Amino acid sequence: MDKTFYIETFGCQMNAHDSEKVIGTLLHQGYAQVDTPEAAHYVFYNTCSIRDKAEQKVFNRLQQFKRDAGKGKVFAVIGCVAQQEGEKIFEKAPHVSLVAGSASYTKLPQMLVQLEAGSRRVTGLSLDTGEAFDTPFTRRDNPHRAYLTIIEGCDKSCAYCVVPFTRGPERSRTSSSVMAEAQGLAGAGYTEIQLLGQNVNSYRDPSPAGWNFATLLDRVGQIPGIRRVRFTTSHPRDFGKEIIDAIDSNPVLCDHVHLPVQSGSTRVLQSMQRLYTRDEYMRRIEWIKNARRKIAITTDIIAGFPGETGKDFEATLALLDEVQYDSLFAFKYSPRPNTAALAMEDQVPEEEKTRRIVTLNERQRAIQIRRNSQLIGEVQQVHVEGRNRALGQWIGRTSQNRTLNFVHDGDADAALAGAYLDVRVTRAGPNSLVGESVANARPVSVM
């Protein structure tokens, strides 16, 4: 029996981490991962449906294998498109045999056994699981920085968003299982942990300990050996000041908050069902800016939500000027199945969405050039991620989540990845910094 598999992952960090869990589970069951779909018997696509463009990617991939190239292979569509489209995928791509959403991953081994036993089509589409997908077999990609899921699903109902339909209701893991996993990571040599959830701020420990997110964050940040803790994503409505207090009192918690605003117009926020006004959002920005350390702020924005007028859009541009974000992701609104915004009137024409997104990105680029150039001359600690051989530079990441590429004497030293080094910033671009390792400093530590 051919037990080789290939997996390609689309979408967010939750999906990337889900794939790490799926890979670990399959390896544990005796399957063997290969690097190309051509070499594999099982071909997995872990899919994203946040915007139409993301969704189309999987169908393009499947199209390539529709005829001879796909003969004898078993195709599995998992993740958000699987959950959203369900059995319709079999109609669009008849060579697919398995369709499963993330809430069914615990049953993957059984589903594969069914396929091996001759079932032509197997589905895992139930969303009524009480638990988060928890496995001891996660196969992590990066040896220094680890993703760790604390909460799955989402109980909000933003009018544009497909996630509540693809990932189901919120399920928090117990604080003891999160802590045990984090301690295990520290023991295995990981120094950086990124806590994951669609809305980490609504984390609520289901065990009697009853920790909220700020407590969990603080406790993970106290684990010996852990030098950096990040978290994503936050929802402004649930973002409490105690998170800033936790960051202020523990330098292990990174100087960065990603706080998606989506729009600078209270009217649009209301129609998006975001559950906060512009002023309420700005209050959170003030908390962050009043912290003792400089905390980088990044955000997501949707351009061209139905009914967004020129004046609403101006309000978003003014918000960029007011907040001075360190980075932002801007997206054109994309109508999604099942969502409330699908039926809204006043859809914004495509060219206008494009114009708005270009304007947003230009405005933000100028802000980033200015902010990044203010860092020239400063010394920042980086966690070394790897090496760019072509440029002869090391790639590092600052606590504020900026990429800082730098030169370091003794360049051939491959063991630098994973080290923490002090680097002086010498140049700044809109999206990254360049620098040099301070006085040929030795790595502060190499794990």
Question: Which positions touch ligand 5AD (CB under 6 A)?
Answer: 50-51, 160-161, 260, 262, 300, 302, 331, 333-334, 336
Q: How far is CA 178 from CA 17, 22, 70, 193, 280, in A?
A: 15, 18, 40, 11, 31
DSSP state of 253: B
Binding residue (CB under 6 A) for ligand SF4 from 15, 149, 172, 316: 15
User: Which CB, 238 or 422, lies closer to ligand 5AD?
Assistant: 238
User: Which CB, 58 or 111, lies closer to ligand 5AD?
Assistant: 58
Binding residue (CB under 6 A) for ligand SF4 from 7, 22, 74, 163: 163
- Cβ(184)–Cβ(300) under 8 Å? no
| The amino acid at 134 | D
Helices (H), 294-387: 310-323, 350-373
User: Which CB, 14 or 360, lies closer to ligand SF4?
Assistant: 14
**Segment interacting with ligand SF4, rule: CB under 6 A, options 24-32, 162-170, 383-391, 403-411:** 162-170
Binding mask 294-323 for ligand SF4 (x = CB under 6 A): ------------------------------
Task: List the single partner that 336 binds among ligand 5AD, ligand SF4, none, CB under 5 to 8 Å by kind.
Answer: ligand 5AD
User: Which CB, 70 or 236, lies closer to ligand SF4?
Assistant: 236
User: Which CB, 119 or 338, lies closer to ligand SF4?
Assistant: 338
Tokens of 187: 């023991």
- 78 counts as binding ligand SF4 under rule CB under 6 A: no
Tokens 């995928």 sit on residue = 89
Measured from the CB of residue 81, what is the shortest distance to ligand 5AD in angstroms?
14
Tokens of 59: 């169908």
Measured from the CB of residue 185, what is the shortest distance to ligand SF4 in angstroms?
22
Q: Which residues pair with 330 in a beta bridge?
A: 301
The H or E element spanning position 132 is none
Residue nearest to ligand 5AD (CB): 300
- 12 counts as binding ligand SF4 under rule CB under 6 A: yes
How many angstroms separate the CA atoms of 129 and 110, rounded?
16
Measured from the CB of residue 49, what is the shortest distance to ligand SF4 in angstroms?
5
Long-range contacts of 335-340 (CB under 8 A, 24+ apart): 335/52, 336/49, 336/50, 336/51, 336/52, 336/160, 336/161, 336/162, 337/84, 337/162, 337/165, 338/84, 338/162, 338/165, 339/159, 339/160, 339/161, 339/162, 339/165, 340/157, 340/159, 340/273
Binding residue (CB under 6 A) for ligand SF4 from 5, 6, 14, 233: 14
**Segment interacting with ligand SF4, rule: CB under 6 A, options 6-14, 181-189, 292-300, 430-438:** 6-14
User: Which CB, 107 or 156, lies closer to ligand 5AD?
Assistant: 156
Task: List the single partner that 22 binds among ligand SF4, ligand 5AD, none, CB under 5 to 8 Å by kind.
Answer: none
How many angstroms separate the CA atoms of 282 and 285, rounded?
5
Binding residue (CB under 6 A) for ligand SF4 from 22, 43, 77, 80: 80
List contacts with ligand SF4 (CB under 6 A). Answer: 11-12, 14-15, 48-50, 79-80, 162-163, 166-167
